[in-house]
Amino acid sequence: MNTQDYLDRVVALFIQELEENLIGIYLHGSLAMECFNPNRSDIDLFIVVKEKLDTLSSKRIATMAVAFHKELPNKGGLEFTIILEKHLIEFVYPTPFEFHYSPYHTEKYETDENYLCGGFEDEDLAAQIVVAYERGSALYGRPLQEVYRPIDEQYYIASILHDIESSKQEILDNKVYFTLNLCRVLYFLREGQVASKKEAGEWGIKFLPHRYQELIEECLHEYIGVTLMSKIENHQFLEFADYMLDEIQRSRKTIRSFRK
């Protein structure tokens, strides 16, 4: 699959559907940060509109999203969120959204014609918008940096902390995701870098205690598509999560103390 051709067609259909209501379409995530794995990565977008979506428009977008998702040959898929511009102009956290689609919604959208995911708030959106602002690109509309102020660091930190708050309970079910995201959070808190999972894993191998190097390497290899026979036992992942959560807490206290 030609990724650029795919993005062009997605953008063209959003332009057709949203018309004058559409302000911008922005790429974030692994594809924006040049660590996209076509066999497993999502294609991540967020879309900015002027006015609230009506039900018929949302249903047409859902149908379009399912069709585009099915074109992707990988284990990831298409994921996007539509937000109102006013929530960027005067940023709101947690951020309300009009519509959300991810691969996890596909079956629900296919089997329930009245199902729509929207009208809620999402703590994760702040981090996604920061990635789009710092590392992403505008597929339609003006670049974010030209029209909106950067999001305050406190909201980005709250967002990335929310993403890992269940890591101790869930790391054994999703080892790669939580291992690399824990690295990403600590990397930002220590050095202020908005990083990809790949970059965070590489940082972790270099700067975290040597006893965790093999664990991070294994997760990083799997993330980029290199399958290895696992040598890491479950208790090592649990120990890693404990260590990283403690370090993240210490780093948060350091930041708060520095600002006082």
CATH code, 76? 3.30.460.10
Could you tell me if 7 and 114 lie in one domain?
A: yes
**pLDDT interval class at 258 (50, 70, 90):** very low
Torsion 149-48-118-110 (CA) sign: negative
Could you tell me if 31 and 98 lie in one domain?
A: yes
Check whether 257 has a pLDDT greater than 70: no
**157 within domain boundaries:** no
Ramachandran region of residue 89, left (φ > 0), alpha (ψ -120 to 50) or beta? alpha
**116 within domain boundaries:** yes
Return the closest-CA partner of residue 93 out of 175, 157, 21, 171: 157
208-to-82, 120, 168 alpha-carbon distances in Å: 37, 37, 18
Place of tokens 């090592």: 236
Could you tell me if 37 and 139 lie in one domain?
A: yes
Mean pLDDT of the chain: 94
pLDDT tens-digit profile of 31-62?
999 999 877 889 999 999 999 999 999 999 99
Of 122, 149, 176, the residue at which a domain comes to its end is: 149
Of 149, 176, 203, the residue at which a domain comes to its end is: 149
Could you tell me if 177 and 249 lie in one domain?
A: yes
- Give me the number of domains the chain comprises: 2
Give the integer Cα–Cα distance in Å for 118 and 103.
15
Could you tell me if 113 and 40 lie in one domain?
A: yes
**156 within domain boundaries:** no
Q: Which residues pair with 95 in a beta bridge?
A: 122
Token reading at 62: 């859902």
- Residues spanned by the domain of 196: 165-259
Residue 256 burial (C-beta neighbours within 10 Å; 0-12, 13-18, 19+):
exposed
**118 within domain boundaries:** yes
Check whether 75 has a pLDDT greater than 60: yes
- The packing angle between helices 197-207 and 175-191, to 10°, is 70
**CA neighbours within 13 Å on the CB side: how many for 133?**
18
Q: In sequence order, which residues have a C-beta less than 8 Å from that of residue 130 and are 6 or more positions away?
A: 150, 151, 156, 159, 194
> Across residues 152-181, what is the average pLDDT?
97
Return the closest-CA partner of residue 28 out of 228, 205, 194: 194
pLDDT for position 233: 95
pLDDT for position 216: 97
Could you tell me if 193 and 248 lie in one domain?
A: yes
**94 within domain boundaries:** yes
Lowest mean pLDDT across 161-175, 181-195, 223-237: 223-237
Give the integer Cα–Cα distance in Å for 254 and 185.
14
Could you tell me if 52 and 111 lie in one domain?
A: yes
Could you tell me if 50 and 84 lie in one domain?
A: yes
pLDDT for position 37: 85
Could you tell me if 47 and 142 lie in one domain?
A: yes
Return the closest-CA partner of residue 132 out of 69, 97, 88, 100: 88
